[in-house]
Structure 1
């Protein structure tokens, strides 16, 4: 997780209110679906980004990060690694406070972009598992 200490990670996660979920899905077997449900249950305002969905879990879906009507505290990415640099670029342009690439999503290029923009960045980690590990919220 680079230079993010557990205390800093906890602070970023607890102070966040808005989460853009790139690759959010209505398919219940997808991790993005369960994690969006979990985040909503714990008080986060979620904005799904998925051009093939009208809504995800009853929330209006957007075609791109640029179309989301808020500045996201967190951009949580559930797309393949090759998409990470473009998504990271869009997240930085949107003013995201924190970029999170889920498990199996890795990109050194995206990491360098985030570091250059001074945006906290996590890759190849599950936000839910990290919240559990840090003792945030219930299951």
Structure 2
């Protein structure tokens, strides 16, 4: 069952290393502005975008597998039909604790697989909105 309680969301929002899959280098796009908000609010943002070399002055990685740093949360800005593969990539790592899909992004089967493997899942919620509501 995906995370819904404010207490669990607050706990997740206390995790500071966030890999953003689909992070955009284009200002004005949600996939750029929301990770920038996280960066501005003390999070370590790790951009994952195979078409960019650098975003926010940080190395952009081609995939989760290419990220050498530890990851707490995988924040997903990709279409719902890509969530399954992203969950597979998250499960291949031993450091990911949470998969968080942004508004209008969900895959119940992939979420169930992630939860069965011990990860927490947040679906169809904006991490910025939840941070502003529960933390700021």
* Distance change (3 Å), C-alpha of 1:55 and 1:45: same
- Equivalent in the alignment of 2:111: 111
Shift, 1:2, TM fit:
2.9
CA distance in 2 between counterparts of 1:125 and 1:78 reads 11
Number of residues paired by the alignment?
135
Whether the aligned pair in 2 keeps the contact of 1:2 and 1:122 (CA below 8 Å) is yes
Cα RMSD between the aligned structures? 1.3
Mapping of residues 1-139 of structure 1, within 5 Å: 2-14=2-14, 16-94=15-93, 95-134=95-134, 136-137=135-136
Structure of higher RCO (CA pairs closer than 8 Å, 6+ residues apart): 2
CA distance in 2 between counterparts of 1:52 and 1:88 reads 20
SS state at 2:75 partner: strand
User: Which residues of structure 2 form unaligned runs of 5+?
Assistant: none
Whether the aligned pair in 1 keeps the contact of 2:3 and 2:122 (CA below 8 Å) is no
TM-score computed with the length of structure 1 as normaliser: 0.91
CA distance in 2 between counterparts of 1:111 and 1:97 reads 13
SS state at 2:85 partner: helix
TM-score computed with the length of structure 2 as normaliser: 0.93
SS state at 2:92 partner: helix
Shift, 1:3, TM fit:
4.5
User: Which residues of structure 1 form unaligned runs of 5+?
Assistant: none
CA distance in 2 between counterparts of 1:125 and 1:132 reads 12
Shift, 1:4, TM fit:
4.2
